[in-house]
Every structure is written in structure tokens, then in C-alpha cells.
Amino acid sequence: MTNQIGVHALVWVGGWSPDEARKAIESTKAAGYDLIELAAIDPSTFDTDLTAKLLQDNEIGAAVSLGLTDDTDVSSEDPDVVARGRALLLDAVHLVRDVGGSYLGGVIYSKLGRYAAPVTERGRASSVESIAWLADRAADAGVTLGLEFCNRYETNVLNTTEQTLAFIDDVDRPNVVAHLDVYHMNIEEVSFSEAVHRAADAGRLGYVHLGESHRGALGTGSIPFEEFFTALHDVDYDGVLTFESFSSEVVHPTLSSNLAIWRNTWTDSMQLALNARAFIRTHYGA
Ligand code: FUD
């Protein structure tokens, strides 16, 4: 089984200036990863030519993730907000394609942040329709969409694997998958193992985020990695596993506050990334 092992850009940099892009992609290579996940909260700000060239020169793959905001929330009942969300998501699909990648994931179905009430029926329907609309355009660009369900403080639309699979059924497009992040699963799921099996049995297990319960160094929190990794092996998961970690050391103005990253869980990105890579090798075997 061959899995690509990725690292989230926020391990290295908070923005994507030419210097930051170079630092992030070269560090990804130096730390032994195959892929970098770009945090494209605002996809129009990326220099795609430069990014594509740096990726190519370093032989590193790219995935793109993002979380929508109040202003671009496709689960909103306001058609103008939904239209802005769709436009941003389409920009993100083009970004993935133009940097040579094939995966757009994250909280692309709602805002990434806390809601004060449950999603409405109209809001969920708008989200389903928007993802179906995007999936058709993504298919033309050779891009798969990953729905990353998140804990209750970061979305009210998808908090579990079960909800995500039901949503994917409603979307009814072949290029839409479930994106499992163990940090969120640790808060919301009954069983890590069952969640993996359900997503795999549905043929929709598409992408994995490895992060700790406190979002700091891998292997130092309370996530049951042995159970999770065993389940991935049981279902012959051959997709990407991306290490994701956040600290107040590396700040993205929107993402860090939406994720409530208020503490310094680490200071040395390279040490963190090397240790995580070693942890994945030792405990997962890739
Ligand atoms: C959010 C999360 C992230 C987020 C992505 C955006 O809690 O887990 O994966 O969607 O980082 O780039």
C-alpha cells in the first residue's frame, strides 16, 4: 500500500508571499513529506505560477483546503452570500488545478466557525446544491472535493462521518469524498474504527488529517492512533495522510482565530514536522 504523506502549510507559514511559499515547500521536502496542503482561505491571493514551479522543482505534491466565512457561507439562506461562496470555491478549484493538484478539501460546505443555532433545512439544501454545482466544475478540472466534517464549535452542518456520508448521498456526485480528521473525530465520534469502516464501505473515504487532541505535537495527546491506523490498514486505505498542527507561533489572520489558536503548543516547525513524520513511519508504517 502506498500513501502520500502530507503536511499542512500552517506548520511552516501563516501567509503565501514568495518567500513564505519557498520556505514552506522546501521545508516540506526537507522534512521528508510528499505533499503540502495549502491553506487557501483566500485563493485569489496565491501566485499559482510560482507555487507550481516551486512544487515541481522540489517534487512535492499539493492539496488545497479552506474554510468559508460568514461572508461566503454556502449554507446561508442569503443568496448573495451563497453566490460569493460559490465564486470563492470555484477560484479554489482553479487554484488546485493550476498548481498541479487534484484535491480541494476542508470546510467548503459551511463557514468555519461557531454557529449559535442548528443549520436550517434551507441552509443545508443550499450547501448540498452548492457542492453538487462545484463538483461538476471540479470534475472538468480533474479535482476531487473532500468534505471535512468538524467539531460542533467549527460548523453546524457536518460533525460526524455518518452525517457526511448522508450529505454525500444527497450531493450524488462521484468526485465528492469524506475527509476524516482525527482531532474532530475525537470530539464527535463514538468509534474511530467504525467511522473509518463506514466511510470506506461507502466507497467515500478520501483524505485523512492527522492531528493531536490539543493540535500540538503528534503523539503527545490523547488520540487513539493505534486504533485509527489499524482501521486504515484494515480497509486498505491508499489515500493521503496529512499532518496538521497549529500553534500561536505561526499565525494566519483568519484561520488561526477561527480555530481558536491562542496557545503556543510548539515553537520549532522543523522539529515538529520531523517528529510527526517519524511518528507516522513508526506507528502507521509509511
Ligand atoms: C479546521 C481544520 C482544518 C481546516 C483547514 C483549512 O479545524 O481541521 O483542516 O479545514 O486547515 O486549511
| ipTM given for this complex | 0.97
Averaged pLDDT for residues 132-136: 99
Averaged pLDDT for residues 216-231: 98
Cβ neighbourhood burial of 15 (10 Å; 0-12, 13-18, 19+): middle
Q: What local confidence, expressed as pLDDT, does residue 162 receive?
A: 98
Percent of the chain residues past pLDDT 90, beyond the cut: 99
Q: Which amino acid is at 58?
A: N
152: three-class secondary structure by DSSP = coil
Is the model's pLDDT at 1 over the cut of 60? no
267: three-class secondary structure by DSSP = coil
Cβ neighbourhood burial of 190 (10 Å; 0-12, 13-18, 19+): exposed
- As a whole number, the mean pLDDT across the chain is 98
Q: How far does the centroid of ligand 1 lie from the alpha carbon of residue 66, in Å?
A: 6
155 lines ligand 1 (CB under 6 A): no
List pLDDT tens digits, range 193-210: 999 999 999 999 999 999
Q: Name the active-site residue from 188, 194, 244, 249.
A: 244
Residue 148 a catalytic site member: yes
Averaged pLDDT for residues 145-167: 98
Question: What is the CATH number that goes with domain 5-283?
Answer: 3.20.20.150
Is the model's pLDDT at 105 over the cut of 90? yes
Q: How far does the centroid of ligand 1 lie from the alpha carbon of residue 105, in Å?
A: 9
Domain boundaries, the chain: 5-283
**Which band of pLDDT confidence, cut at 50, 70 and 90, is reported for residue 268?**
very high
Averaged pLDDT for residues 137-152: 98
Q: Are 93 and 134 in contact (CB under 8 A)?
A: yes
261 lines ligand 1 (CB under 6 A): no
d(C-alpha 244, C-alpha 210), whole Å: 6
